[in-house]
Amino acid sequence: MAVRFRRVRQRTSELCARLSAEDLQVQSMPDASPGKWHLAHTSWFFEKFVLGRDPAYRPRDPAWHYLFNSYYQSAGPIYARPQRGLLTRPSLDEVLGYRRFVDAAVSELLDRDEVPELAMLVELGLQHEQQHQELLLTDIKHAFWCNPLLPAYREPIAAAAGAKAVPLCFVGGREGIVEIGRRGEGFAFDNETPRHRTLLQPHALANRLVTNAEYLAFVREGGYREPGLWLSDGWAMVQREGWQHPLYWQSDLDSEFTLAGVRAIEPHEPVCHLSYYEAEAFARWAGARLPTEAEWESAAQGAAISGDLQDERRFHPHAAPAGDGLLQLYGDAWEWTASPYVSYPGFHPLPGTLGEYNGKFMCGQWVLRGGSCVTPRDHLRASYRNFFPPHARWQFAGLRLGNDR
């Protein structure tokens, strides 16, 4: 655990190494957070829930408990999320010093006494930090896109030589009663529990994610102008926000903004940065539907966790590799499902303040599955449930089609 702790914390620092103090200060919208705040909040999490187990522990700076608490109401008052970009103090150097302080204290604790309860809390903190690694990248992408200079976070992305889309086909899924949810003894968030039975009707899933070329056809054929394709709230959002194509596509429909700057849209790569509304409208236009999360998880059980993930450092979706069966189950782009984010039968949140981690968001959100090109590989499993409100577009979210058989 001590080795894993240092490795995950170091990865966060590496992701920030390309960024200036100014880059790490900016907050481009209320849904995003400054990189500096991510660095501080993940350290606060370990200070609060790991180091704070000792009644004699005193926080590095008690005022920071207010600044860097995210949404744990039972832990105390919270600084307003939309105003995190105003926190020019503490400075970046002070925040980095805070991280070093927490790293040293937690490492010493692990080296001295790695009891099961401590290991569980540290693993929860590391899984939480990996979520923030992903947010660091999605948030800085949005911030750079808002800059007229359209700066790049990394060097240019080379397109895969000769990459072509695997022909789309549908693969029949399991029918009848299946089990989903946490399996085995490995880590899982409380919202992945308990494992339970559910009934699957006859269905099939597309063998790969929807591509840019396929989504471009939807755009060119007037998908954003046809109200009959959209949920009522989605159509209202399209009208209010003036959506005409996925976030980060340029108005010429030939190029898109990426973490490597503006590049030509590769037709065979998965489309991403879609809201649930857009994914659902496309599926309707295509004569299909979105898979349910139970259909997705049933298909993913036993599949190897491989693909275009954060570990590859490409930070951009990749065309599906040639192969049979279901491709791209993990990585490239999160897959919107048709399932609202609700509790499983028999769900119980973690006790105490940590119970606020997932359960209190089970309203008005939709489930995504599979991870993306900015998700760490060892953060994923078949039972992992991501969730966002249906209008969210700045995450690397795309879709896989499903249908009834």
Q: Is residue 162 part of a domain?
A: no
**DSSP state, 27?**
-
Same-domain check for residues 142 and 188: no
Residue 386 has a CB neighbour count (10 Å cut-off) of 24
Same-domain check for residues 214 and 99: no
pLDDT of res. 116: 87
Taking only the tens place, the pLDDT of each residue in 170-223 is: 999 999 999 999 988 889 999 999 999 999 999 999 999 999 999 999 999 999
Structural domain ending residue among the three candidates 96, 113, 146: 146
Q: Which CATH number is 205's domain given? A: 3.90.1580.10
pLDDT of res. 120: 93
Question: Would you place residue 304 in the very low, low, confident or very high pLDDT band (cuts 50, 70, 90)?
Answer: very high
Same-domain check for residues 112 and 198: no
What CA–CA distance (Å, rounded) separates 300 from 173? 10
Q: Mean pLDDT score of the chain, rounded to an integer?
A: 96
Residue 237 has a CB neighbour count (10 Å cut-off) of 19
What CA–CA distance (Å, rounded) separates 383 from 18? 33
Q: Residues 284, 307, 255, CA angle at the centre, nearest 5°? A: 60
Q: Is residue 214 part of a domain?
A: yes
Question: Would you place residue 161 in the very low, low, confident or very high pLDDT band (cuts 50, 70, 90)?
Answer: low
Same-domain check for residues 306 and 365: yes
What CA–CA distance (Å, rounded) separates 26 from 128? 22
Same-domain check for residues 27 and 139: yes
pLDDT of res. 89: 97
Q: Burial of 209 by CB count in 10 Å (0-12 exposed, 13-18 middle, 19+ buried)?
A: buried
Q: Is residue 160 part of a domain?
A: no
This prediction has a pTM of 0.96
Same-domain check for residues 201 and 114: no
The domain tally of the chain equals 2
Question: Would you place residue 139 in the very low, low, confident or very high pLDDT band (cuts 50, 70, 90)?
Answer: very high
Place of tokens 């980095």: 96
Question: Would you place residue 157 in the very low, low, confident or very high pLDDT band (cuts 50, 70, 90)?
Answer: confident
Q: Provide CB contacts within 8 A for 167, sequence distance 6+.
A: none
Q: What is the mean pLDDT of residues 366-370?
A: 98
Q: What is the mean pLDDT of residues 39-61?
A: 95
Please say whether the beta carbons of 46 and 38 come within 8 A. no
Q: Provide CB contacts within 8 A for 228, sequence distance 6+.
A: none
Structural domain ending residue among the three candidates 146, 181, 196: 146
- Residue 165: pLDDT over 90: no
Same-domain check for residues 232 and 372: yes
What CA–CA distance (Å, rounded) separates 373 from 312? 8
DSSP, collapsed to helix, strand or coil, labels residue 236 as: helix
Domain of 67, in residue numbers: 2-146
Q: What is the mean pLDDT of residues 88-101?
A: 98
Q: What is the mean pLDDT of residues 11-20?
A: 97
Same-domain check for residues 127 and 253: no
Structural domain ending residue among the three candidates 146, 180, 198: 146
DSSP, collapsed to helix, strand or coil, labels residue 21 as: coil
Above pLDDT 90, what percent of the chain?
Answer: 94
Taking only the tens place, the pLDDT of each residue in 305-354 is: 999 999 999 999 999 999 999 999 999 999 999 999 999 999 999 999 99
DSSP symbols for 89-123:
-S-HHHHHHHHHHHHHHHHHHHHH---HHHHHHHH
Instruction: Show the tokens assigned to 174.
Output: 């399991």
Taking only the tens place, the pLDDT of each residue in 231-244 is: 999 999 999 999 99
pLDDT of res. 311: 96
